[in-house]
Amino acid sequence: MTTTHVDLALEGMTCATCAGRIEGALATVPGVTATVNFATERASVDIDGVTDATDLIAVITKVGYGAHVIDREQRETEPPTDPVLTARVIVSLALAIPVFLVSMIPAWQFDGFQWVAAALATPVVTWGAWPFHRAAVRNARHGATTMDTLVSLGVAVAYVWSIYALFFTMAGTIGMRMDMVLFGYSPHSLYFESAAVVTAFVLLGRLLESRSKRAAKISLTALLNTAAKQAFLLVDGREVSVPAGALQKGDTFVVLAGGIVPTDGRIVEGQSAIDASAVTGESVPIAVGPGSTLIGGTINAGGRLVVDATAVGAGTELARLTRMVEEAQAGKAPVQKLVDRISAVFVPLVIVIAAAGGIVWFAISGDATHAVSIAVATLVVACPCALGLATPMALLVGTGRGARSGIIIRGTDVLESTRRVTTVIVDKTGTLTSGHPAVVDVFGAGFSADTIIGNAARVEMGTDHPLARAVVAEATVRGAMGAVARKIVAEPGRGVGGTLGKTLIRAGSLAWLAETSCIVPAVIAERAVTWSGAGQSLVAVAHDNQVVGLIAISDVVKPSAAVAIRNLSKLGIRTIMASGDNAAVAKVVARDAGIHEFYGAMNPADKRDLITRLQQQGEVVAMVGDGINDAAALAQADLGIAMGHGTDVAIETSDIVLVTTDLRRVADSIRLSRSTLGTIRGNLVWAFGYNAIAIPIALAGIMGPAVAGLAMAFSSVFVVLNSARLAAFRIS
């Protein structure tokens, strides 16, 4: 049965309990697996059955919330902050402040000030606090409680009690002192200022929280917004302006100097430099020419380019990266499951504790005012929001920061893996080296150099390995390209073969050809020793069972490689290079990159076995690679890191994707993941610690309702602001 995926935007959530209720409701639908993220206000749903999105929305509506489907092709931008919420905050603060001052400062009190306080507080606890009351009633109808229930109960009890005291006991004539409101109570006191201030503080906290969450989500929206809106389609030699979304795979379009590349493509004409900073975070423009691939959203910083579209819409690199980030943000860390279980019972438990506290204090003191103060403070001070935001908020900001710098963290389990990494294994070609090797020499035994390079290119067209691209590029320059071979079969890490007429042509490592009983002439073997000793990579070419030529290819170590290795060392991580090239080539590259431990002539199984051995020795291993031959090692490693320009299979088997080719991002990705994990833990310590300390303080009567409201608002805002620090994470 086919599994379909649906993303839903949720409306009406106010705390982690809401997210848990929606997730629980969706879980009751047969064939549905759902994850609800409170920070992003999204539900990620996999459907294995006949249920459709309409059924899901109906289930969510039934439990008191709203939802609509998010189209992956046409994603909505982040809406501006709710203007009604902003108005409620402004009005509530404007009215609550004078209520607070006149109630707290004896010198400001005058005959009948209690009636003024009541008049000013009434709009605050009715219109200002209306979202809390409405949500509390809505949830009560479904037999549920949330943070809104606590706030609504606290505000309502404080206000109703004050109205009772004002009208029926005439106790309002008794002034209140600062120490009584902040740290205790006074007999027959009024709580208009508590009801008003609690409302204003909680609304202010919600506004700050909303703006911070929106700012965090904008980082992902910004990634999407790098895409061009218009494109110049080439039709019969003319440039026709069309919406970028109208481009189809295979269309030829033009990118003018300074223009944004509208979709992924391959250059067929023109030379330029591409500014990819908006997508990959690389500050230095990249030189490109015919055959170079372009990512949609990058900027043409040079001359006119003619490009063939290779992917459009959801198939583009930008769309794929966005999906990876969203999937990571929708995930839950293992500790979040514990938080969810606690959040499910948190609010009912607090209500029970508050009621019990009020009853006990009334039994002890016989003072109903004191009992009300205790109950209200306990209700208001509890903060399930801090628990609910602790993990998703840090994950939202951390993954968003990474996305802006070309670091895609693909899941929450990755964070724990990066903390424990002790060893990093790096591939050579395309990872430590530039990935743009070039043919430097060709030798043929009985065949011309053009024949050797041409035949090799005709089978290498079947693979995307950097060495294969170098062979094809050289054959193209020489004019030696012919028809592509038939029945092309690649053996990852070894080579590729195909047929030309009745001849089997193979191109790959000399060791592979020798293993398959190919005859290696002495002149070929001698030349291989010479070129290998010079640190050059070799591609041997065989016709049937006879090796007939050698191609020498050279690649340069990336300028950032040595710095990247030093950065990993500063993190206490050991670096090992594992290359499919011979030991001589591996030695030269390792020396230039500053790596002391390296292995050459390794096939995919050898790399996987190396990782297995290290794991058996107690090492936690990360693998960095980009090719098909790295896929097995990436999957075996505790942490797989794929270079984003690599093959699809390498990217799909990895935990972290580096869109950039800058190897320094490896250490950056580990540092960012560790910082995100540390922030999550700090948030959870705060959230649990705050509630564990604040609730007993309120129960003890040390904290009045007004201060309790301020503390509760600060608690959730603290988690949001602490997570927001990740946005300033420094990339090397």
Domain limits, CATH 2.70.150.10, in the chain? 232-325
- Render pLDDT for 88-109 as a digit per residue (tens, 0 to 9): 999 999 999 998 888 878 788 8
- Render pLDDT for 390-431 as a digit per residue (tens, 0 to 9): 777 888 888 888 877 888 887 777 887 888 899 999 988 778
| Strand ranges (E), 371-451 | 407-409, 423-426, 438-444
Q: Using an 8 Å Cβ cutoff, are 393 and 719 in contact?
A: yes
pLDDT at 225 (0 to 100): 58
Sole residue written with tokens 């929708």: 330
Average pLDDT in the 529-545 region? 87
Top pLDDT among 322 and 470 is at 470
Q: Using an 8 Å Cβ cutoff, are 324 and 657 in contact?
A: yes
- Distances 542 to 461, 500, 524, 527 between C-alpha atoms, Å: 16, 12, 11, 15
- Tell me the CATH number for domain 412-433+557-654: 3.40.50.1000
pLDDT at 176 (0 to 100): 42
- Render pLDDT for 454-496 as a digit per residue (tens, 0 to 9): 999 999 886 777 788 889 888 888 888 888 888 888 887 788 9
Q: Which of 7, 148, 427, 626 is catalytic?
A: 427
CATH architecture entry for 232-325: Distorted Sandwich (2.70)
Given a cut of 60, whether residue 182 has pLDDT beyond it is no
Share above pLDDT 70 across residues of the chain, in percent, rounded to a whole number: 86
Average pLDDT in the 184-210 region? 72
CA separation for the pair 368, 187 (Å, rounded)? 9
pLDDT at 224 (0 to 100): 56
pLDDT at 212 (0 to 100): 66
pLDDT at 434 (0 to 100): 75
pLDDT at 154 (0 to 100): 81
Q: Which amino acid is at 334?
A: P
**CATH topology for 4-69?**
Alpha-Beta Plaits (3.30.70)
- Radius of gyration of the chain measured on its C-alpha atoms: 33
Helix and strand totals (H; E) in the chain: 25, 26
Domain limits, CATH 3.40.50.1000, in the chain? 412-433+557-654
Sole residue written with tokens 């109570």: 185
- Distances 593 to 213, 510, 557, 576, 598 between C-alpha atoms, Å: 41, 26, 7, 11, 11
Residues 6+ apart with CB under 8 A from 717: 205, 208, 209, 212
Chain mean pLDDT for the chain: 82
Burial of 571 (0-12, 13-18, 19+ CB in 10 A): middle
Structure tokens at 282: 């690389």
Is position 48 annotated as part of the catalytic site? no
pLDDT at 307 (0 to 100): 92
Query: Of 309, 308, 297, 312, which Cα lies nearest the Cα of 259?
Result: 297
Domain 438-554 has CATH 3.40.1110.10: yes
Return the H-helix or E-strand segment holding 193: helix 192-225
